[in-house]
Chain A
Amino acid sequence: MTKEQNAIIEVKGLAKSFDKTIALDGISFSIQSGELFGFLGPNGAGKTTTINILTGLVRPDAGIFQIGGIDCTKNVQSAQHLIGVVPDESNLYPELTGFNNLCFCGALYGLTKQERQNKARKLLDTFGLSEAASRKFGGYSKGMKRKLTIAAGIIHSPRILFLDEPTTGLDVASARQVRQLIADLHKAGTTIFLTTHYIEEAERLCERIAFIVSGRIVKIDSVEHLLEPFQRKQAMQIACIKDTSFIQPKLSETFPDMSFIFSKNNMIRVEADKPVFAGAIVRFLEEQGIDVSEARRIRPSLEDVFVQVTGIESDALRKEKEKSGMGGKS
């Protein structure tokens, strides 16, 4: 599949409320064909609701949307053959084997027996699940379940793939594999709509990102453009042995060109418009009786953009998600 420079998903003024809770408050965005688009936001921001509306599982209260040039506002069914969905929870059939699950999902999209069996074998091989092909899905590990769920989402070679929190709850190795699979799918030309709460994952994978908070898109741009204002800044992180907050006034007084952000875990983030030299600050801290365990230059990341745009600490976002487990509508 080749990348075409036209919008494959177009959303205008999409709104949805559940009872009195506003889940989406008139969001608008468009996704180009072949693009890997990230949707980033805390729990309850409206990420899953957006996916559910675009895939036909939830009806919008207002707004219009097109998928592949088809107006899907009233009925998504006409575009469902273009879509593959990987939900936030693995929802395949526990009583079926991995192979049979994939074949069944292929059959739902009208693949012939030969087509779906060939595709299932190929996908099981690609996802490293060939040996578990004849085992029941219910007995798979979390990582294996996630991989098979992704495989089920792409068995019919969809032009657009919706991935809802694909790496949540996975161990490091499995998450890495899943990320590689997403990158490969993107390279092959599939348009990907990815929701995640892992900022570094979005930064690494996505071309454009939308930050969504309380049902509103607060920022939408390419990763490059989002990072641009932060690239000019110099930043350093200093890890201290004990509490350092008391030193803030003195530090600001001694280094007036720099700004200091103190976090609870005895970390000091130093930011300035000109190069920051660790030596002077470390010496100053040690003179004040504060032992420094590490001082390192940090490159600006999407996390900085996220914190500035949403006002939400990225650590808080991660903890909140971990506390709530994998599922939950957002």
Chain B
Amino acid sequence: MKAWIAFWNILLKDMRSYYLKPPNISWGLLFPLVWITMFFIRSGLGMESLPKLLPGLVALSILFGTTSVLSVTVTFEKKGRSFERLLLAPISLEVLMLAKTSGAILFGTINAFVPIFVAMLLTDLSAVNWAILVPATILIAISSTFLGLFIAVSVKEVFEAQTFSNFFRFPMIFLCGLFFPVKQLPIWLRPVSYMLPLTYGADILHTSINQTSHMPLLLNFSLLTLFCAALFTFSLRNIRNKWII
């Protein structure tokens, strides 16, 4: 019960202090929206092509919504020593970091549904498999958040967090099969693509929205879950080894 009170209040504080602030909305929503609009206009296709672009829009909204804030705020709190307050609380590191990441997961998931609702108003989404799309969106939000956490605990300065985030984010956008299939990539680049969690997330999104897939659904879900576990475990190990010296 006591751990739950701490968990809930950390989540609530982070939502109020960081995620529901205008700069974050601009990163999490505006950037993917502009990006996709650019693709949409360039394609010259009509509204019926919107479902084709939707997986990209959903994935980018999650990716930028989760990683932008978490990696910076954790580094910022560590630098300002307010993170010490959390480390001193009588809760396990696992509960603490789940609380710190829950805000980003929640924000990323909400972010993902904004373009989906907009698309629902503009085009027909009756073919969408919601039973796959909803859990996939949550799982992509979790993996992107844990990637943000991994970045946060790997750097010391706030500016490093931003730079390091982009090091992962931008190549990932092009290599994960969101805008063109992985099969179209040069053969030597494909292994890199399979090392990115979003590759599996993008494939699930294509399956649920456009019924086109590259890999079996169960494999995608399993690998994405594995990425989540690995990133979280590695981040906790980093905190224990680097922050509690």
Contact = CB atoms under 8 A, between A and B. Distances in A.
A93 B8 CA distance: 17
Contacts of A92: 82, 85
Contact of A77 (B1, B10, B84, B92): B92
B91 interface: yes
B13 interface: yes
Contacts of B85: 91-92, 105, 108, 152
A105 B89 CA distance: 9
Contacts of A85: 88
B81 A109 contact: no
A87 B84 contact: yes
B131 to A, nearest CB: 36
Interface string A16-28: 0010000000000
A96 B13 contact: yes
A58 interface: yes
Interface in A104-129: 104-105, 107-112
Interface in A234-276: none
Given A59-B244, A93-B82, A110 B87 contact: no
A95 B18 CA distance: 10
Given A109-B2, A110-B1, A112-B5, A89 B81 contact: yes
B46 interface: no
Interface in B157-191: none
Contacts of A83: 88
Contacts of A94: 80
Given A77-B92, A89-B81, A108 B17 contact: no
Given A81-B90, A95-B17, A104-B13, A87 B81 contact: yes
A169 interface: no
Interface in A44-96: 55-59, 77, 80-81, 83, 85, 87, 89, 91-96
| Chain B, interface residues (CB within 8 Å), range | 20 to 34
Interface string B49-83: 00000000000000000000000000000001110
Contacts of A55: 88
Contacts of B88: 55-57, 80, 83, 85
B88 to A, nearest CB: 5
Contact of A57 (B3, B10, B84): B84
A112 B1 CA distance: 10
A81 B90 CA distance: 5
B92 A110 contact: no
A279 B145 CA distance: 79
A57 B13 contact: no
Contacts of A108: 6, 9-10, 85-86, 89, 91
B89 A109 contact: yes
Interface string B1-45: 111011011100100010000000000000000000000000000
Contacts of A59: 244-245
Contacts of A56: 87-88, 244
Given A80-B90, A104-B13, A58 B245 contact: yes
Nearest to B89: A108
A58 B240 CA distance: 10
**SS of B interface (majority):** helix
Contacts of B1: 110
A97 to B, nearest CB: 12
Contacts of A57: 84, 87-88, 244
Contacts of A107: 5-6, 8-10
A1 B203 CA distance: 62
Nearest to B21: A95
Nearest to B8: A107
A141 B87 CA distance: 26
Nearest to A93: B82
B5 to A, nearest CB: 5
Contacts of B89: 80, 108-109
Determine which residue in A83, A96, A104 has the highest number of CB atoms from chain B within 10 A of its CB, and name it: A104
B29 to A, nearest CB: 22
Nearest to A89: B81
Contacts of B91: 108
Contacts of B17: 93, 95-96
Contacts of B8: 107
A105 B10 CA distance: 10
Contacts of B3: 110
B20 to A, nearest CB: 12
Contacts of A152: 85
A111 B81 contact: no
A57 B85 CA distance: 10
A104 B9 contact: yes
Contacts of B80: 91, 94
22 contacts: A55-B88, A56-B244, A59-B244, A59-B245, A80-B89, A80-B90, A89-B81, A91-B80, A91-B81, A91-B82, A92-B82, A93-B17, A93-B82, A104-B9, A105-B85, A108-B85, A108-B86, A109-B2, A109-B89, A110-B1, A110-B2, A110-B90
Given A56-B88, A87-B84, A105-B85, 8 more contacts: A56-B244, A59-B245, A80-B89, A93-B13, A96-B13, A108-B85, A108-B86, A108-B91
Across the A-B interface, give the 7 residue pairs with the lowest CB-CB distance, nearest first.
A110-B2, A107-B9, A108-B89, A80-B90, A91-B81, A81-B90, A110-B5
